[in-house]
Amino acid sequence: MAAAPKHDVAEIAHKVLKLCVQERQNVPSQPIVSIVPPQNEREIGSIAKPSQAPSSIDVTLSHAEKIFGYRVRMDHPRFFGFIPSPASDLSWLGEILNSAYNTHAGSWFQSSGPSAVEKHLLSWLARDAIGYPEMAGGCFVSGGSMANLSALMVARDQKLSFEDRSKAVAYTSDQTHSSLAKGLGILGFHPNQIRKVACDDKMRINTTLLQSAIEEDNASGKIPFLIVGNAGTTNTGTVDPFPELAAIAREHGLWLHADGAYGASALLCKSRRSILNGIELCDSLSWDAHKWLFQTYGCGMVLVRNRKNLTSTFGTSAEYTQDAAETAESFPNFWNYGPELTRPARAMKLWFSFQLLGLDAIDNYINHGFELAEIAQSSLERLPDWEILSSAQMGIICFRYKPSGIPAESLDGLNAKISQTAIEENLAAPLTTRIRGVLVLRICCIHPGLSGEEMVAVIDGLNQVAKSLLPSIDSKTNGL
Ligand SMILES: Cc1ncc(COP(=O)(O)O)c(C=O)c1O
């Protein structure tokens, strides 16, 4: 049998890193959104298939450039859709380090160095950032959906007997992220076991309606067990009133989970931290480092007020892992704290970034995101014909173009077209969402690389685009 070809690892590493650095530097001048044209899809298909003989590094990297060229640059400073990924270069470099060391971070035996970092980083975030007590802890997972799923499973195990599960009810707001309903579905709950409570005029969960829903369900023999509060909704960046939610949860003996996948990072920004007051009263919290902590995908955390709740849900043992069994609680096996057994040492890239950036820079970067949305708001307020449907909060603002004389039924189409045109012209990528049924442009602007002046220019550019589209509105059909 022929031996596997020997590679010059140093040469490949040099070429790969050179391309990566070049790509990172070029992001701001590249198309924000680039989708494979249907006629080119076959070409990608042909380079996707492995061939019998090996390819050279140069050919393979040129293919990689072609493949990666077709994507939304989620890390582009003017990509404002979904939750962008303003990842620091230090994160991908930390990831390379982590990947090269290739630690199995399941047990202390296999990963005592990186596991010690994970433990100390999580307890620092839990105690110093959130304000949790000493017994708090957590686990790194792949992202917000897995963090939410993990917390929901703990909530179920802490609050329900097996027999109770079919009668159980969970409460979210109508703005809660879809990963919560998905997580409850994965855990075997029926969609009608989720009560999506309506929001008040500020898009926060209406606590009066929540209180009566719980009382109603209790009276009819159902078993309320969980409230999910939003620590920064995806749609508008809204924070639910945690002190009130905690009082309701305490009164009825329910678990309180905070979805801070997006917004929990405000805890590391001294001047904005108070927006999350009361979050320390929650039993569990999701927090994504790949959103507003400047990490590459996938890096999320689930944190709990009492770490023993994680081990009682996720703790496992097997004959073949007996040599790696936990010897003391202070030397944790993270496979007992979350759903994965084999898992990368995800904490290491966050550690690497924290080390090289320092907390003051993180604080400034997060504050900058808040400020950019506020700058967008004041620019919009100076222009006629723009309506703000959700004010700047947590780096998110929702608005629409609403010139006089345009029939209401044309506004959704007009605003969708503004978004498409801005993307086609590579001005910016504000995607659309709906606020109380109305189509709006949504800007989530958390990239530290976008200046305030550039944000003003983006809003001016959107105004030009909007005005240029007005003549195309057909007055007979009122369409575009
Ligand atoms: C508030 C919130 N929760 C949860 C999620 C899901 O996180 P992930 O996409 O990392 O699974 C998101 C994603 O945008 C989010 O904004």
- Closest ligand 1 atom to Cα of 231: 1
CA atoms within 13 A of residue 268's CA, in its CB half-sphere: 26
- C-alpha span between 323 and 398 (Å, rounded): 55
pLDDT bracket for residue 479 (50, 70, 90) = low
pLDDT bracket for residue 475 (50, 70, 90) = low
- C-alpha span between 262 and 250 (Å, rounded): 25
Q: Write down the pLDDT at residue 473.
A: 79
- Residue 127 CA to ligand 1 centre (angstroms): 23
245-291 pLDDT, tens digit each: 999 999 999 999 999 999 999 999 999 999 999 999 999 999 999 99
- Closest ligand 1 atom to Cα of 145: 11
Same topology, domains 103-357 and 360-472? Answer is no
Ligand 1: which residue has its CA nearest to atom 16?
234
Among 182, 228, 259, 288, name the best residue to mutate to test ligand 1's pocket (greatest count of ligand atoms within 8 A of Cβ). Answer: 288
Percent of the chain with pLDDT over 90: 95
Residue 458 has pLDDT above 90, yes or no: yes
33-63 pLDDT, tens digit each: 999 998 889 889 999 999 999 999 999 999 9
Residue 1 has pLDDT above 70, yes or no: no
What are the boundaries of each domain within the chain? 103-357, 360-472
- Closest ligand 1 atom to Cα of 176: 1
- Closest ligand 1 atom to Cα of 263: 1
- Closest ligand 1 atom to Cα of 148: 4
Residue 82 has pLDDT above 70, yes or no: yes
- Residue 145 CA to ligand 1 centre (angstroms): 6
Ligand 1: which residue has its CA nearest to atom 2?
261
Q: Write down the pLDDT at residue 270.
A: 98
- Closest ligand 1 atom to Cα of 234: 16
422-444 pLDDT, tens digit each: 999 999 999 999 999 999 999 99
Placement of tokens 């202390």 in the chain: 108
- Mean confidence (pLDDT) of the chain: 96
> Would you say domain 103-357 falls under CATH 3.40.50.1820?
no
Tell me the residue type at 468: S
Residues in the ligand 1 pocket, defined by CB under 6 Å? 83, 143-145, 148, 177, 179, 234, 259, 261-262, 288, 300
Q: Write down the pLDDT at residue 412.
A: 98
- Residue 288 CA to ligand 1 centre (angstroms): 8
- Right CATH for 360-472 from 3.90.1150.170, 3.40.50.880, 3.40.720.10, 3.40.50.460: 3.90.1150.170
- Residue 261 CA to ligand 1 centre (angstroms): 6
- Residue 262 CA to ligand 1 centre (angstroms): 7
- Residue 16 CA to ligand 1 centre (angstroms): 30
Residue 155 has pLDDT above 60, yes or no: yes
Q: Write down the pLDDT at residue 472.
A: 86
61-81 pLDDT, tens digit each: 999 999 999 999 999 999 999
Residue 476 has pLDDT above 50, yes or no: no
